[in-house]
Structure 1
Amino acid sequence: MSAGYAVLVVTALGALLAGCAGPSHPAASPYPAAAAPTLADISAIPSAAVPSAAPTDLSTLRLPIEKYVLTPAENAQLNHATWVLAADCIQHHGITFPTPAALTNLRSGSEVPRRYGPADPAAAAKDGYHNPAAPDGGKVPTDNLPSLPVDQRTTVFNCRRAAQTQLTGGAPFGSSPIGEQINSRSYIKSADDNRVKAAFTAWSACMKTAGYSYASPMDAYNDPRWRGSPTAGPQEIATAQADIACKRQTNLIGTWYAVDAAYQQQQIQAHQAELDRDRTAERQQLAAARKALGQSS
């Protein structure tokens, strides 16, 4: 999987929470993350129930691991709560640092509609292969941190660390580390699966008939011609629309989703205890965040 296409999946979401975003999750932190459990590789290839026809509403599809990882909206809520809780500590040290505003309009539902590249004709007609405009104009909540002296910046970070501990009770902050690993690993494994590769071949033949030469959807997404402009041009939009039409004609997304989900389920079964533990911690953090923000359950 190319680095560019991965942004759709895992990177875009995490970046949004850092304050700037795809197939994204964990809330960004100025501190090193706790060591994540090692995700053991399972050599067996799981069976997958591939739908006979292309799914019509991708928003109704949820990947198995989505039960165990936080959405961008949930991560944003955690991040905002930590800054709210840290405010008194920061002020106590005589530092002028406005509490960063909460990021809004982040995904709270399934990640499937963007995980496998463009899939919505209406969105492609506007954005082509470009990612939609970042929520809140892409402003990083902590843009003014670099303006602080180093010692004050360290104090702000320490106050935020204490606020994180207040939310977590000492558990790892944010989304399940092993859940995030499973989410990214299954994408890579499924893209290399022969069933998905066969779907890529069918998709490529369909695109060839339409006048486009790409071996896989990742190649279309990463076409260097799309990088020269901040917005999608007519050629990019036409390519993305043909891409979506061929995905539907070949049931590429239905196949890829089924295989992706099968790899996830295999790993979930192998790491059920860790995932259940992390999910409990996530729920406790979210409840604490809602309380800190004065929100109801």
Structure 2
Amino acid sequence: MSAGTTALVLTALGALLAGCSGSGHPAAAPKPAAAAATLADIPATPSADVPSAAPTDLSALRLPIEQYVLTPADNALLNQASWVLAGDCIQHHGVTFRTPTALTHQRSGSEVPRRYGPADPAAAAQYGYHKAPVPDQDKVPTDDMASLSQADRVTVHGCLADAQKQLSGDAAYGSSRIGEQINSRSYVKATADDRVTAAFAAWSGCMKTAGYGYASPIDAYNDLHWGASPTADQQEIATAQADITCKRQTNLIGIWYAVDAAYQQQQIQAHQAELDRDRAAEQRQLDEARKALTRSPGSN
């Protein structure tokens, strides 16, 4: 994966990976990870039902793998329950530590509107290629980890790891590892697919006509100029708006999504048993998390 592709896919997908570090919370101490499943090497190129016109409502599109991986809202629920359970353990050991508050208003819908770069003209008009600001109530407060002694940090990490184990049981904590692998691999494979690179070329031609010299939307997204300022300037906003216009004119997102989904479906069929197992484990964790929060008088 190129550096540019890495930057776009990480931003587009958001915090899908499970665990405290994925939500901005202090990470638990390293622990032995469950053996990661290996994706089957499927050399055949899957067929894709590419729409003839650009989709008008990206939020209505769901990638096949989304039913097997946790959403940001799911991860926020697990993290909140983990810290609630860990809190009793931390207090029992006599450590004074302010556990992070719950993340709110996390996404639970389709990831498609964020996966392929700017797609919303209204958002682009305000933020260009920058992320929209996070509401104050969604910000994670600074925790007290830095003020703790090394011994107390070990205690806190250990309590958090134990809490996660309470939620996950014999399964790996958080989202399906193989599901996350499929989610990221399909993006990379689709981005290199001839059908998508042809759409990139068409998009690039459209952008050239508008006065912009980018070979792909990934290059536009990762233009170093955008990082020079904390907010979008008029040049960035104009570029993002042209980007979206050209995506629509060339049906780039429709093609990209269709090919991406085809690669995912191919891998899902090859790993159906593992994904079904992981999905059941995810649901058990979420059920245990809700029970933990229901039992806790201080939870929201």
Same structural fold, with TM-score higher than 0.5 when normalized by the shorter chain: yes
Q: Residue in 2 aligned with 1:155?
A: 155
Residues 126-137 of structure 1 aligned to structure 2 (within 5 Å):
126-134=126-134, 136=136
Take 1:287 and 1:88, find their aligned partners in 2: how far apart are those partners?
Answer: 20
**1:110 corresponds to:** 110
Equivalent pair of 2:214/2:220 in contact (CA under 8 Å): yes
Confirm whether residue 46 of structure 1 aligns to residue 49 of structure 2: no
Paired letter, 2:252? L
Matches within 5 A, 1:1-297: 1=2, 2=4, 3-10=6-13, 12-14=15-17, 18-20=22-24, 29-32=28-31, 33-134=33-134, 136=136, 139-140=139-140, 143-294=143-294
Write out per-residue CA displacement over residues 119-175 of structure 1, whole angstroms, 9 at most, x where no aligned residue.
000011111001222454774456321211110111111111111111111210000
Worse overlay, 96-105 or 280-289: 96-105
- Counting matched residue pairs gives 289
Q: How far did 1:31 drift?
A: 2.8
CA contact (8 A) 1:83 1:99 kept: yes
In the aligned structure 1, how far is the partner of 2:224 from the partner of 2:27? 29
Counterparts of 1:44 and 1:140 in 2: how far apart (Å)?
44
Q: TM-score, normalised by structure 1?
A: 0.92
Q: Report the CA distance shift for 1:137/1:290 in structure 2 as closer, same or farther (over 3 A).
A: closer
Q: Is this contact kept in 1: 2:28–2:160, CA < 8 A?
A: no
Cα distance per residue 1:262-295 (max 9 Å; x no partner): 0000000000011000000000000111111119
Corresponding residue SS for 1:123: helix
Alpha-carbon distance between aligned partners in 2 of 1:28 and 1:181, rounded to the nearest angstrom: 21
Do the aligned partners of 2:90 and 2:155 also contact (CA within 8 Å) in 1?
yes
Q: Distance in 1 between matches of 2:250 and 2:45?
A: 22
* TM superposition shift of 1:212: 0.6
Identity of aligned residues (%): 69
Deviation readout 1:214-245 (Å, 9 max, x if unpaired): 00000000111101001111000000000000
Contact in 2 for aligned 1:19/1:141 (Cα 8 Å) = no
Q: What amino acid maps onto 1:220 in structure 2?
A: A
CA–CA distance in 1 between the matches of 2:36 and 2:172? 9
The answer to whether the 8 A contact 2:71-2:107 is kept is yes
Amino acid at match of 1:125: A
Aligned with 1:199: secondary structure?
A: helix
Distance of 1:43 and 1:137 partners within structure 2: 47
